[in-house]
């Protein structure tokens, strides 16, 4: 268990004065990701809310070496940096060991950055990749991404008389990462902060051997239509509805870190949907079947995950 008071003594390296929306949890995720590192960190960010808003010229909120080039290549960037440091060390020009961190949204991870990420992992580069998943292209005005859930209203999948928001299922990106056979892959949420810090620490350690990946739930204030202060509370509901299960895969072994069914805390998906205006149309009694369809998708994914974690699904 992480000692929060001791953890708080570490230096903060993603500071205030950035221009992210009030209440956006992405900078909290970035801040904690930097604090969790056991060595100095070099960061690469993909285009996205966090990148744009923390580095509005001539300001930067990052107190670490940080770089951005484009949307699609954050993992390629870090692969280059990691290799350069290796060569400089071998030539004796520097004598220093770093940790490498990529931080990107779902657009830069699930969609646009996927091939660079997949390639960098396969080539054996050693970096921690953190995705803050806000389930849309928020920075450019809430367009759908492959992380956007079923029936969510976005500017490219608006709700109309016939189509009720996004028609396609969300990509299960964490599982795509598991298929890359890294030492450590995890899913985390801010509501379970100690679990999240533990995962970040494990993620860095795993980069002694391979790349590592952590997917972190990151509610978007304007995109999802929620109140400024609700990101942490909504994360908790996402976890308790099993929409965003907390689990990790270490050396191929699945482990569920928190099972809301066991503690009797599992709640129906409507509790998650009803708090967000992007799902407002689902509350119309005419659309009750859509909620049932949504619930079925959540249950299917949850059952599959439980099986992988060795938990019997016939007992509940």
Partner 1 sequence: MLSKQEISTGAQARGGSSEDFNTGSWRALRPIIDTSKCIHCMLCYLYCPDNAVCIIKESAKQNGNPEVTGVDLKHCKGCSICSQVCPVHCIKMIPEEEAKKVDKKD
Q: Per residue in 179-192, is it b (16+ CB within 10 Å) or e — as a string?
A: eeebbbbbbbbbbb
Contacts with partner 1: how many residues (CB under 8 A)? Answer: 43
CB within 8 Å of 45: residues ≥ 6 apart: 51, 54, 66, 67, 68, 74, 102, 103, 104
- The CA radius of gyration of the chain, in Å to the nearest whole number, is 19
Residue selected from 70, 232, 275, 309 as contacting partner 1 according to rule CB under 8 A: 232
Work out the burial of residue 6: count CB atoms within 10 Å of its CB; fewer than 13 is exposed, 13-18 middle, 19 or more buried: exposed
| Contact call for residue 278 and partner 1 (CB under 8 A) | no
Query: Which segment (54-62, 129-137, 199-207, 289-297) binds partner 1 by CB under 8 A?
Result: 54-62
Taking the complex as a whole, the smallest distance from the CB of residue 249 to partner 1 amounts, in Å, to 26
| Contact call for residue 27 and partner 1 (CB under 8 A) | yes
Taking the complex as a whole, the smallest distance from the CB of residue 68 to partner 1 amounts, in Å, to 9
Write out the two tokens for 61.
């909120």
| Contact call for residue 93 and partner 1 (CB under 8 A) | no
Q: Please say whether the beta carbons of 105 and 50 come within 8 A.
A: yes
| Contact call for residue 310 and partner 1 (CB under 8 A) | no
Taking the complex as a whole, the smallest distance from the CB of residue 4 to partner 1 amounts, in Å, to 5
Q: Which is nearer to partner 1, 62 or 243 (CB)?
A: 62
| Contact call for residue 92 and partner 1 (CB under 8 A) | no
Give me the 189-208 binding string for partner 1, x by CB under 8 A, dash otherwise. -x--x---------------
| Contact call for residue 16 and partner 1 (CB under 8 A) | yes
Site for partner 1 in 61-90 (CB under 8 A): 61-64, 66, 69
| Contact call for residue 52 and partner 1 (CB under 8 A) | no
| Contact call for residue 57 and partner 1 (CB under 8 A) | yes
- The crossing angle, in degrees rounded to 10, of helices 26-35 and 193-206 is 50
Query: Which segment (17-25, 86-94, 173-181, 205-213) binds partner 1 by CB under 8 A?
Result: 17-25
| Contact call for residue 24 and partner 1 (CB under 8 A) | yes
Max CA separation in the chain (angstroms): 69
- Give me the numbers of helices (H) and strands (E) for the chain, helices first please: 11, 8
**What Å distances lie between residue 110 and 11, 55, 274, CA to CA?**
31, 23, 26
| Contact call for residue 46 and partner 1 (CB under 8 A) | no
CA distance 218 to 221: 10
Query: Which segment (57-65, 80-88, 174-182, 299-307) binds partner 1 by CB under 8 A?
Result: 57-65
Q: Please say whether the beta carbons of 140 and 222 come within 8 A.
A: no
Which residue ranges make up the site for partner 1 (CB under 8 A)? 4-5, 7-9, 12, 14-20, 22-28, 31-32, 54-64, 66, 69, 190, 193, 228-233
């Amino acid at each position: 268990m992480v000692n929060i008071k001791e953890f708080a003594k570490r230096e903060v390296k993603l500071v205030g004065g950035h221009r992210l929306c009030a209440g956006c949890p992405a900078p909290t995720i970035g801040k904690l990701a930097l604090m969790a590192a056991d060595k100095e960190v070099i960061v690469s960010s993909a285009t996205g809310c966090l990148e744009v808003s923390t580095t509005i010229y001539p300001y930067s909120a990052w107190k670490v070496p940080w770089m951005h080039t484009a949307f699609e290549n954050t993992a390629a960037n870090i692969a280059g940096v990691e290799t350069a440091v290796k060569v400089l060390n071998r030539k004796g020009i520097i004598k220093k060991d770093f940790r490498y961190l990529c931080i990107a949204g779902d657009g830069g991870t699930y969609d646009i950055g996927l091939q660079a990420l997949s390639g960098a992992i396969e080539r054996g580069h050693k970096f921690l990749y953190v995705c803050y998943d806000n389930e849309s292209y928020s920075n450019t005005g809430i367009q759908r991404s492959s992380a956007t859930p079923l029936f969510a209203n976005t500017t490219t999948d608006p709700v109309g008389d016939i189509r009720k928001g996004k028609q396609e299922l969300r990509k299960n990106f964490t599982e795509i990462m598991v298929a890359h056979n890294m030492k450590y892959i995890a899913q985390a949420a801010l509501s379970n902060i100690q679990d999240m810090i533990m995962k970040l620490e494990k993620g860095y350690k795993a980069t002694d051997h391979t790349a590592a990946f952590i997917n972190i739930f990151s509610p978007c204030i304007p995109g999802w239509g929620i109140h400024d202060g609700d990101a942490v509370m909504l994360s908790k509901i996402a976890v308790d509805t099993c929409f965003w299960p907390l689990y990790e895969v270490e050396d191929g072994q699945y482990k569920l870190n928190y099972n809301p069914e066991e503690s009797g805390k599992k709640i129906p998906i409507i509790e998650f949907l009803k708090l967000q205006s992007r799902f407002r149309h689902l509350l119309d009694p005419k659309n009750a079947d859509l909620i049932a369809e949504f619930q079925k998708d959540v249950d299917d994914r949850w059952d599959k995950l439980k099986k992988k974690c060795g938990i019997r699904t016939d007992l509940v």
